[in-house]
Each structure stands twice: as structure tokens, then as C-alpha cells.
């Protein structure tokens, strides 16, 4: 009797990969992954040819989850809060995402190279600012990049625990205020 493909296997593999990754990069072996996903290594190889493909699939899934987390707010000014919430509730995944960007290629687009699939959250920000400030989305690449740099920096500092935990609330508040000020300043100069 022929085997029926397991529709949940890829999800189980990626869930198991995240759990193993939290314990450290070296724990993500295909053998350990097969055990954690309740399958065998040939089943993993049928879906992913290499460990690199598994990490890339993890990053793509995280990118999608991140986009879904920030795209619930109506404006770019409000995006800092869900961005920071996501990063701080997924610290290991957040660090992994930025440490392995080379697997996704060109995360930060240039003015004329837009690919919504490569970075849907960045493109979302461009569209929001285009509606709010006017002009084509590509005009807002430097502003979205600057906002991202500030929010990413805040998230990275908070994740690294290099900041007194008592300051977290204030840092988050100031980051959100700075995003509003950057956008307001851009509106005054358009």
C-alpha cells in the first residue's frame, strides 16, 4: 500500500528546528531534527536537501510571522510597538534572522529594486508612507530604512540585555516617539 504524504510534516520539522536552534546552532543536526520532528532523516531530505535549506525555510517563515505581526496596525507610526513586541517575544529567532540574512539575499532594497516577496514588512512601510506623505513608494526608502535602523537597534539592545531592565519601557516609548518625529519631519519637508 502506498504511503500518503504527511501534510503536517514540514510544520513539525520547522517547529522542531526552532526548538533545537534555541539550544544553539550546533544542535541543529538532521538526525536530531528527525528525532524532534518525530520522523526520519530520509523524510527530511525529501523536503530539504541541506541544513542551509532548513535554515532558509525557518527564516522565510519568521519573515512571514513578523510581517503579520506588524501589518495589523494602520500606520507606520504605530509599527514600532508590534515590531518591538515581536522581537522581544522571539529573541533567539530575531537574532537568527539578522545573523543569516545572506540566505535571503538583499533584505534592504535600493530605490529602484523592489521585490515585495524579499521583504514584505519593508514594502508595507513604503506603501504606508507613500499613502501618508505622497509620492511613489521608492521615494521613502531612506526614511523606512532609518526607522528600521532605529527600531532594530532598540530591539537588539533590549534583547542583548545590555540595558538596565528598568529602562525598557522608557526606551520603547522614546523609540516610538522618535518614529513619529521622523515621519512628521518628513511630512514637513515634502
CATH number, domain of 144, equals: 1.10.357
Summarised one tens digit per residue, pLDDT across range 50-107 is 888 898 898 888 889 999 999 999 999 999 999 999 999 999 888 888 877 666 655 5
23 and 84 both lie in a single domain: no
The CATH number for 27's domain is 1.10.10
Q: Please count the structural domains in the chain.
A: 2
113 and 180 both lie in a single domain: yes
Helix, coil or strand: residue 14: helix
Domain end among 14, 30, 49: 49
61 and 26 both lie in a single domain: no
Range of the domain at 3: 1-49
36 and 72 both lie in a single domain: no
88 and 123 both lie in a single domain: yes
Confidence of residue 1 (pLDDT cuts 50, 70, 90): low
| Percentage of the chain modeled with pLDDT above 90 | 52
Amino acid at each position: 500500500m502506498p504511503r500518503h504524504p504527511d501534510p503536517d510534516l514540514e510544520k513539525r520539522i520547522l517547529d522542531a528546528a526552532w526548538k533545537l536552534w534555541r539550544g544553539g546552532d550546533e544542535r541543529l543536526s538532521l538526525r536530531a531534527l528527525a528525532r524532534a520532528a518525530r520522523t526520519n532523516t530520509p523524510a527530511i531530505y525529501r523536503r530539504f536537501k541541506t541544513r542551509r535549506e532548513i535554515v532558509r525555510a525557518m527564516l522565510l517563515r519568521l519573515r512571514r510571522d513578523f510581517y503579520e505581526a506588524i501589518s495589523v496596525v494602520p500606520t507606520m507610526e504605530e509599527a514600532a510597538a508590534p515590531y518591538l513586541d515581536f522581537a522581544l517575544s522571539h529573541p533567539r529567532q530575531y537574532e537568527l534572522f539578522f545573523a543569516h540574512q545572506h540566505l535571503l539575499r538583499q533584505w534592504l532594497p535600493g530605490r529602484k529594486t523592489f521585490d515585495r516577496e524579499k521583504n514584505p514588512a519593508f514594502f508595507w512601510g513604503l506603501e504606508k508612507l507613500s499613502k501618508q506623505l505622497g509620492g511613489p513608494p521608492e521615494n521613502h526608502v531612506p526614511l523606512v530604512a532609518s526607522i528600521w535602523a532605529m527600531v532594530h537597534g532598540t530591539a537588539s539592545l533590549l534583547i542583548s540585555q545590555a540595558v538596565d531592565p528598568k529602562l525598557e519601557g522608557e526606551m520603547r516609548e522614546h523609540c516610538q516617539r522618535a518614529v513619529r518625529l521622523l515621519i512628521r519631519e518628513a511630512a514637513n519637508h515634502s
